[in-house]
Structure 1
Amino acid sequence: MKKLILSTVLMFIATLIMAQTVPDLKGVYTTKKGDINIVWMFIDGYSSQTTYKDNAYVSTFGGPYTYQDGSLNVQVEYNDIHANTIGQTKSFALTANADGLLEQSGQAWKKEAAKTQDLDGLWRITGRKQGNDVVQIHQSGTRKTIKLLVDGYFQWMAIDPGAKTFSGTGGGHYTFTDGKYSEHILFFSRDSSRIGAELNFDGALKDGAWHHSGLSSKGDPIYEIWSRDNK
């Protein structure tokens, strides 16, 4: 009898735990509205939603997020269209499954195929080489440049949540293989003529930091150091 009661209790607890399991939104979701493309990235507790056309950037917003019981809450750190929302929480009613997301409004998002790579994660630039010296940057205040990489997509954002300012963003597809990092640009807020460009860099993980070097989109030599910025 005691064994039966114990078994029943354990089954109840297991069922309760399963019911309370929070889906992992990690990945990339895409949708379209006419000629508008929208990509939504989730990695390391951070999200970014970007709207763009095939030949022009439109807008972006994002920040740390939580998701539970069909409610997605984003603590907005940047929004280049509505700066007044920075510091606020933007909420979405949606359900998640293996195929994607479905908003209460009826908007469906397709989950892009998983493509895990060693650089996947949320990164923050912390150093830059000037001459032969590495100079630390953005070590105080709220100004920062961050980069999300997940399932073959990337996006960088130069932002200052404290000042509610936005300096630019760019993103698209990326690959990282055998020390070679490549980008294919889908959107770039500063110069739409760069859309479609392919950029190739050297990349290496050293003591947990990402050393990124090569030529910028303007053709200038760069050597940057990025550190993981897990939320």
Structure 2
Amino acid sequence: MQQATELEGAWRTTDGQGNEVVMLVQDGFMTFARFNQQNKQFLGTTGGTYTLSNGRFEFKYEFNTIDSTQVGTSTSANYRLKKDQWILSRDGLTDTWNRINESNSNSPLAGTWRITGRERDGQMNTMRPGPRKTLKVLSGTRFQWIAFNSETGQFSGTGGGTYTAENGKYTENIEFFSRDSSRVGMSLSFNFEVKDGNWHHSGQSSTGAPVNEIWSRISKD
């Protein structure tokens, strides 16, 4: 458990073409997003649950935009932590991830959240757990939302970047967006409150539509 806690947060590396790859780890769930912010290119994402045991890292895919046939399968690697580096080794290949410094963050929203309520026509509708999921994974300073079906492998969309959550105001600064690259560089602000362990999120979407949602930590499922 202590090892899993040590991994929580945000990590960064680059691929062979110099594109940024950001990994977020919270509540036993992790996401990987590859993108080029300067060119407003979203290049792919994958994510799922993980376990650690005796220097071994095992990851189970819940979504994968590059190869959806991997959804439901698992992969494993040896790992070690060295200061602010996480080193993964498998089949003679080594990946080194560098921790993103979030020491100044005290975000009340760090965690992995699942949407459980959405207002429509003036009424809050409860959304029951199932294979279709919309999640938000937040480290101390970074976020990624993902919509997918963990049974069929269908992927609906994602976006992410940095965020702040202070004095009841939650602001996202978008660095990648799978559906519409013109959103990259935008900032969106919402009202937020954590009440009874749930995240109440309200305001207006980028299209001006009203938003009123409830999100719950997956660790409570």
Tell whether the structures are fold-level matches, with TM greater than 0.5.
yes
Question: Is 1:159 the equivalent of 2:148?
Answer: yes
Greater CA deviation, 80-89 or 128-137? 128-137
Report runs of 4+ in structure 1 exceeding 3 Å deviation.
20-23
More strand by share: 2
Alpha-carbon RMSD across the aligned residues, in angstroms, is 1.7
Task: Give, in whole Å, the separation in 2 of the partners of 1:49 and 1:97.
Answer: 20
Decide whether the 8 Å contact of 1:113 with 1:151 is kept in 2. no
Question: Is 1:110 the equivalent of 2:104?
Answer: no
More helix by share: 1
1:41 paired residue number: 24
Q: Pick from 164, 180, 186: which aligns with 1:191?
A: 180
Matched residue type, 1:126: T
Matched residue type, 1:107: D
Give the drift of 1:21.
Answer: 6.3
1:6 paired residue number: none
Give the drift of 1:35.
Answer: 2.9
How many residue pairs get aligned? The number is 211
Matched residue type, 2:186: A
- Residues 229 and 140 of structure 1, relative CA distance in 2, 3 Å threshold: closer
Question: Is 1:30 the equivalent of 2:19?
Answer: no
Matched residue type, 1:133: Q
1:84 paired residue number: 69
Matched residue type, 1:116: N
Q: Pick from 109, 128, 132: which aligns with 1:143?
A: 132
2:109 paired residue number: 119
Task: Give, in whole Å, the separation in 2 of the partners of 1:197 and 1:21.
Answer: 37
Q: Please say which structure displays the higher CA radius of gyration.
A: 1
Give the drift of 1:140.
Answer: 4.8
Deviations 1:147-196 (Å, cap 9, x if unpaired)? 11112010111011012211011111011001000000111111111111
